[in-house]
Amino acid sequence: MLGERMARVHGEEARAQFLAFLNYLELKGIIIEPDWLARTGLDEDTLALQQRQLAFLLDVLGSPERAAEIQRKISQARLVCFGVGAVGSWLLRQLLGLGFRRFVLVDHDRVEAADVSRHAFFNAADATTGAYKATAVAERMRAQFEAMEVTAKTEPLTTESVLETLIEPDTDFVINAADEPYIGYTSVLLSRFCVPRRLPLLVVGGFNAHLGSLSELVIPGVTPCADCYADYFRNALKDWTPVEHPVLDRRDAAGGLCSLAVFAAGTAAMKVFRYFMGEGDSEGGRGELLFDNYRLDAFKVERQPNCPICSSL
């Protein structure tokens, strides 16, 4: 109608230019059909719960089809999460918010009173009954959203673990938020399993020195793997002697701050989201919020040329 009026007042050429301009705006995603959400073909639940996020994706990508495709990929993806303590729980809470619905949780630990104040899902009763962390988190996740598919496994992650039974073939993404016995060891263990299978691995958290970590995403064949990181630090720190800590036995004295766990989990959740958007970081590196001076510190880590794990691809 507007086009006809334009032709009448300004002539046929002006109308053609106007329509071409409208077409251009539509192609660029600047103007969009008012019922674009309904046209995505996503189910009603997803549309109702994720509409703000879909609008965000539309803003960033400019394409309703791409926005819907990413949301669909997210709701179908199967994630295995090792460690559902403070960092793991806040990460899971945010992954639920982003629309992820299929999880396997692996944690052999039980809830203690000190966990409740730092955790996204626990309550005081969990500590009283000494519930398994994985079981309690799975229960809360099911209560929070419908269409949840979550399995809790309460076996420890050790070098004896049969990883094939924990990370089944239809897994799309693996998370390591397990700080026992030490996140460096469990990450190498998981990375050696994931990289040859081309499975992405996110390493998040880490107690003591690196509470505000920005997480590391291992994309097989693209970024350094956990062995590359270990090798890099072995070289970088070869002349460094650790300063003796005043507390000799620190096993029961590992520090933690709820807000730092939330920070580490929040930045990691955005990394997962970016990966599913196809915008995953292609470079390796390590970054963290330094609590002492409230600054973000980051540096690059390269893939090691002789890494036996990376070169197996």
For residue 235, the minimal CB distance to Zn ion (Å) is: 14
Q: Which is nearer to Zn ion, 188 or 269 (CB)?
A: 188
**Does 307 participate in binding Zn ion (rule CB under 5 A)?**
yes
Q: Where in 218-257 is the site for Zn ion (CB under 5 A)?
A: 225, 227-228
Closest approach, Cβ 111 to Zn ion, in A, equals: 36
**Can you tell me whether residue 181 is helix, strand or coil?**
coil
Nearer to Zn ion, 137 or 307 (CB): 307
Which residue number, 196 or 266, has a Cβ lying nearer to Zn ion? 196
The span from the CA of 222 to the CA of 283, in Å, is: 7
Of 106 and 307, nearer to Zn ion (C-beta) is 307
Stretch near Zn ion under the rule CB under 5 A, chosen from 84-92, 104-112, 144-152, 305-313? 305-313
- How many residues line the site for Zn ion (CB under 5 A)? 6
Provide the minimum distance between the beta carbon of 311 and Zn ion in the complex, in angstroms, as a whole number: 8
Taking Cα atoms as reference points, which of 266, 285, 269 lies closest to residue 277?
269
Cβ-based burial of 132 (10 A; exposed 0-12, middle 13-18, buried ≥19): buried
3-state secondary structure 183-222: HHHHHHHHHHHHHHHCCCEEECCCCHHHCCECCEEECCCC
Q: Min. distance of Cβ 183 from Zn ion in angstroms?
A: 17
- Given a contact cutoff of 8 angstroms between Cβ atoms, the answer to whether 107 and 178 are in contact is yes
User: By C-beta, is 109 or 231 nearer to Zn ion?
Assistant: 231
- The neighbouring-strand residues paired with 81 are 105, 175
- Identify which range of 31-39, 50-58, 168-176, 217-225 contacts Zn ion by CB under 5 A: 217-225
x/- binding map, residues 88-107, to Zn ion, per CB under 5 A? Answer: --------------------
Residue 58's nearest CA partner among 68, 73, 44, 46 is: 68
Residues 6+ apart with CB under 8 A from 283: 223, 300
Q: How far is the CB of 135 from Zn ion (least distance, A)?
A: 35
Q: How far is the CB of 227 from Zn ion (least distance, A)?
A: 5
Helix (H, G, I), strand (E, B) or coil at 238: coil
Q: Give the pair of three-digit tokens for residue 39.
A: 């046209």
Least spacing, CB of residue 178 vs Zn ion, in Å: 20
Q: Counting Cβ atoms within 10 Å, is residue 200 exposed (0-12), middle (13-18) or buried (19+)?
A: buried
Among residues 188 and 261, whose Cβ is nearest to Zn ion? Answer: 188
* Site residues (CB under 5 A) for Zn ion, limited to 56-85: none
Q: Which is nearer to Zn ion, 150 or 188 (CB)?
A: 188
Residues that bind Zn ion (CB under 5 A): 225, 227-228, 307, 309-310
